[in-house]
Amino acid sequence: MQLVFATNNLHKLSEITAIIDNKFSILGLKDIKCFEEISETKETLIGNALEKAEFVYNKYGYNCFADDTGLEIASLDGRPGVYSARYAGENVNFENNMNKVLAEMQTIEKREACFKTVIALIINGDKYFFEGEVNGVILREKRGIKGFGYDPIFMPVGYNLSFAELSAEEKNKISHRGIATKKLIAFLQKLK
């Protein structure tokens, strides 16, 4: 079965291709000649994931899945949350976003945070959702150089290392996206 992963992130694409049964052929957006920006206009992770998957399903006619992730920090009332990619503004980079979080939390002792991923899957018009979460704390300074996004300032519960100090393999085992992806794969493997 051909399935489109509505992402331009090659890292995410190769991650799933490596672990999914070869009865599935995973295509990226470029493979289906979708070069346009897919908008994320909703105020929830589930809304954005579904918006992206529906865009591809409706316009290109492929069975498809899409993901959306947010970092929720309790002391910041759940921010950056669904706005994680552009927390410090439009056209910002990961450093800008992390610096904003660190500045806002400078005097805050309560540092619990949670990464959440939602994957929306559409097969022949039917919709399915898969979620993954990982709890942790926001560090006081950046640590490590691996990974991406907020990894240098997030330390998962039970670890003494930030996400950016863990190998990709170790991170995938416990990460929000790793958990959601495993649920998606378990579901797909059961399909005929």
The residue whose Cβ lies closest to ligand IMP is 149
Residue 181 in the binding site for ligand IMP (CB under 6 A):
no
DSSP 65-92: EEEEEEEEEGGGTT-EETTGGGTT-TT-
Residue 85 in the binding site for ligand IMP (CB under 6 A):
yes
Q: How far is the CB of 5 from ligand IMP (least distance, A)?
A: 12
Residue (10 or 191) nearer to ligand IMP, CB: 10
Interface pick for ligand IMP out of 118, 175, 179, 181 (rule CB under 6 A): 175
Closest of 177, 149, 160 to residue 80, by C-alpha: 149
CA dihedral in degrees (173, 111, 130, 188; nearest 10)?
-10
Closest of 74, 102, 75 to residue 87, by C-alpha: 102
Counting residues that bind ligand IMP (by CB under 6 A) gives 15
For helices 10-19 and 176-190, give the axis angle rounded to 10 degrees: 50
Q: How far is the CB of 119 from ligand IMP (least distance, A)?
A: 10
Interface pick for ligand IMP out of 131, 149, 174, 182 (rule CB under 6 A): 149
Interface pick for ligand IMP out of 28, 132, 147, 156 (rule CB under 6 A): 147
Between CA 92 and CA 102 the distance in angstroms is: 16
Look up 126 and say whether it is catalytic.
no
Residue 162 in the binding site for ligand IMP (CB under 6 A):
no
Q: Which listed residue (67, 68, 126, 151) is catalytic?
A: 68
Residue (107 or 177) nearer to ligand IMP, CB: 177
Between CA 173 and CA 78 the distance in angstroms is: 24
Q: How far is the CB of 4 from ligand IMP (least distance, A)?
A: 16
Where on the phi/psi map is residue 59: left (φ > 0), alpha (ψ -120 to 50), or beta? alpha
Q: How far is the CB of 129 from ligand IMP (least distance, A)?
A: 15
Give strand pairing partners of 159: none
Amino acid (one-letter) located at 72: E
Enumerate the active-site residues.
68
Residues that bind ligand IMP (CB under 6 A): 67-69, 84-85, 94, 97, 147-151, 163, 175, 177
